[in-house]
């Protein structure tokens, strides 16, 4: 059976951007400084960078500088991007959040965008609207909602047609003070002029696939909730101010399941005062790194870093997403066949899936029981098991009985002997791909997504919760 990609994969999906300029690589010459005024940019160092064309030496120096600065300050690293030979790619590939000034975006016509001139060029825009709540979690348009979720799309997203000044004033179709409007759109879908206003851009285009440029317009108070993206992100503040709060991929964020419209986002609403009964694996607060972006600043945000973004002053921003290599790897993994047949009876499919997950974890030197327990307790339990009366998920009692019967009646050893050959053939295809994901936290995150995908594809959306619940209750080994 070929696996399909019904489940959200490595992070909020991005539609492709059709017109991509070619990329050009430049050698690296950097001037580094950080908030606390610790300079690496002594004259000697700069001369060394400027004179030397030795890539290895330069890379070593840059790595060393990031290591030194990163270990001595909690602040994000700051660099001046105007130095000759500066490379956006090198900085992005170091995967450390970095704030750049004097960037290529200073040359954009877009750097002169204001609410007024954008209004003249854009006319009315289709903005997301929320009443009473400035925190935006999803930006989806009319995607079919999985049967797994109790809500309707209207609970998650509403859009209204408004002018740019209305987006800033919050006065959309209703004159309510607590109306929050947020405009976020792929620039490729706007008039061609918008793309020409963000030229030159080739230095920010790292791949010849999966690149998207977006425009964000919103008023003070609007907040994009904590989530990760499977993309390198060059985020340019054109007007106003935004505060990014950043968390490394190793942070336990209690993500929404992949089948939930909020997937890729944290379920924890208040990271500074965490409810330990609902989210027991967290410490009582999770401290992020705050970075304030002002007009002309560019944040280089690495893939899989969690970020929460608050608009401090009414804001216009443009960003460039480039799919991370992990995104491509997962694409390849999701296309590999899963070694079972969909016309097998349910119990056989469930047992095979369970065995497959167990062997997959083992081959990646992880303890399968811990992996599945963690997946269930962090993504699923808080949404349903914690408070079934107020639950967000549609979990049927029939599915729970079915899964409980299957898992309690089986002789695992006999089953494992029978199917391990087939499982082994499937795993030989995907283990080398998972092994290429160097960062352990990212690998475990994406493995969790893949396990959800296996359960969804092989056993059915409405049984995913009960399947994982039973696996964590009975264990897999
Ligand atoms: O600016 C925002 O509100 C959100 C930006 C964001 O999440 C991103 O660029 O990935």
- The domain locations on the chain are 31-86, 105-323, 336-474
Q: What is residue 1's predicted lDDT score, i.e. its pLDDT?
A: 40
Asked if residue 28 has pLDDT above 50, the reply is: no
**Residue 25 CB coordination number (10 Å):** 11
**Structure confidence at residue 179 as a pLDDT band (50, 70, 90):** confident
- What is the value of pTM for the model shown? 0.85
Nearest residue by C-alpha to atom 3 in ligand 1: 224
Interval 423-463: pLDDT, tens: 999 999 999 999 999 999 999 999 999 999 999 999 999 89
Is pLDDT at 7 greater than 60 in this prediction? no
Measured in Å, residue 301 CA sits from the centre of ligand 1 at: 10
Give the pLDDT mean for 399-421.
Answer: 84
Supply the pLDDT for residue 171. 65
Residue 328 in contact with residue 129, Cβ under 8 Å?
no
**How far is C-alpha 120 from the geometric centre of its chain's CA atoms?**
33
Alpha-carbon Rg for the chain in angstroms: 24
The residue behind tokens 């985020």 is 235
Is the shortest distance between the CB of 322 and ligand 1 below 6 Å? Answer: no
Q: Is the CB of 297 under 6 A from ligand 1?
A: no
CATH superfamily of 105-323: Jelly Rolls (2.60.120.10)
Instruction: Indicate if ligand 1 lies below 6 Å from the C-beta of 229.
Output: yes
How does residue 175 score in pLDDT terms, banded at 50, 70 and 90?
Answer: low
- Banded model confidence at residue 244, pLDDT cuts 50, 70, 90: very high
Q: In this model, does residue 53 exceed pLDDT 90?
A: no
Q: Comparing 260 with 338, which gets the higher pLDDT?
A: 338
Question: Which of 60-69, 226-235, 282-291 is predicted with the least confidence, judged by mean pLDDT?
Answer: 60-69
pLDDT band at 412 (very low <50, low <70, confident <90, very high): confident
Stated as kind and residue range, the H or E segment containing 430 is helix 412-435
Q: Is the pLDDT of residue 308 over 60?
A: yes
Q: Which of 148-157, 248-257, 294-303, 461-470 has the lowest mean pLDDT?
A: 148-157
User: What's the rounded Cα separation, in Å, for the pair 239 and 227?
Assistant: 23
Alpha carbon of 216 to ligand 1 centroid (Å): 8
Scan for tokens 């001037």, then name that residue: 31
Its sign, for the CA torsion 470, 472, 475, 477, is positive
């Amino acid at each position: 059976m070929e696996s399909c990609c019904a489940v959200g994969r490595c992070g909020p999906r991005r539609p492709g951007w059709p017109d991509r300029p070619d990329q050009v690589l430049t050698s690296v010459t950097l001037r580094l400084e950080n908030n606390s005024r610790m300079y690496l940019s002594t004259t000697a160092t700069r001369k060394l960078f400027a004179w030397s064309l030795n890539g290895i030496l330069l890379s070593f120096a840059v790595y060393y500088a990031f290591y030194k600065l990163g270990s001595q300050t909690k602040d994000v690293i700051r660099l001046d991007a105007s130095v000759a030979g500066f490379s956006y790619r090198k900085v992005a590939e170091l995967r450390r959040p970095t704030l750049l000034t004097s960037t290529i975006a200073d040359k954009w016509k877009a750097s002169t965008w204001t609410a007024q001139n954008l209004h003249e060029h854009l006319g009315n825009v289709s903005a997301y609207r929320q009443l009473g709540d400035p925190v935006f979690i999803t930006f989806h348009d009319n995607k079919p909602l999985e049967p797994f979720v109790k809500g309707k799309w209207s609970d998650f997203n509403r859009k209204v047609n408004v002018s740019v000044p209305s987006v800033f004033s919050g006065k959309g179709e209703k004159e309510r003070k607590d109306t929050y409007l947020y405009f976020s759109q792929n620039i490729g879908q706007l008039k061609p002029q918008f793309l020409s206003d963000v030229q030159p851009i080739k230095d920010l285009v790292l791949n010849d696939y999966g690149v998207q440029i977006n425009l964000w317009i919103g008023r003070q108070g609007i907040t994009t909730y904590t989530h990760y993206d499977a993309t390198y992100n060059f985020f340019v503040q054109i007007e106003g101010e935004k505060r990014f709060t950043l968390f490394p991929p190793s942070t336990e964020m209690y993500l929404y399941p992949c089948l939930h419209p909020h997937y890729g986002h944290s379920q924890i609403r208040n990271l500074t005062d965490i409810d330990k009964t609902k989210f027991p694996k967290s410490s009582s607060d999770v401290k992020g790194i705050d970075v304030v972006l002002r007009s002309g600043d560019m944040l280089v945000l690495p893939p899989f870093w969690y970020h929460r973004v608050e608009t401090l002053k009414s804001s216009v921003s443009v960003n460039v997403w480039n799919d991370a290599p992990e995104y491509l790897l997962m694409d390849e993994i999701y296309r590999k066949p899963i070694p079972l047949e969909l016309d097998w009876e349910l119990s056989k499919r469930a047992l095979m899936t369970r065995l497959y997950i167990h062997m997959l974890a083992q081959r990646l030197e992880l303890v399968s029981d811990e992996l599945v327990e963690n997946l269930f307790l962090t993504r699923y339990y808080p949404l349903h098991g914690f408070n079934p009366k107020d639950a967000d998920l549609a979990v049927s009692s029939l599915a729970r009985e079915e899964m409980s019967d299957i898992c309690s009646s089986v002789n695992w050893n006999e089953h494992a002997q029978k199917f391990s050959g087939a499982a082994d053939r499937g795993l030989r295809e995907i283990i080398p791909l998972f092994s290429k994901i160097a960062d352990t936290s990212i690998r475990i995150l994406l493995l969790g997504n893949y396990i959800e995908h296996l359960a969804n594809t092989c056993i059915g959306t409405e049984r995913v919760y009960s399947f994982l619940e039973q696996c964590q209750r009975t264990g897999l080994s």
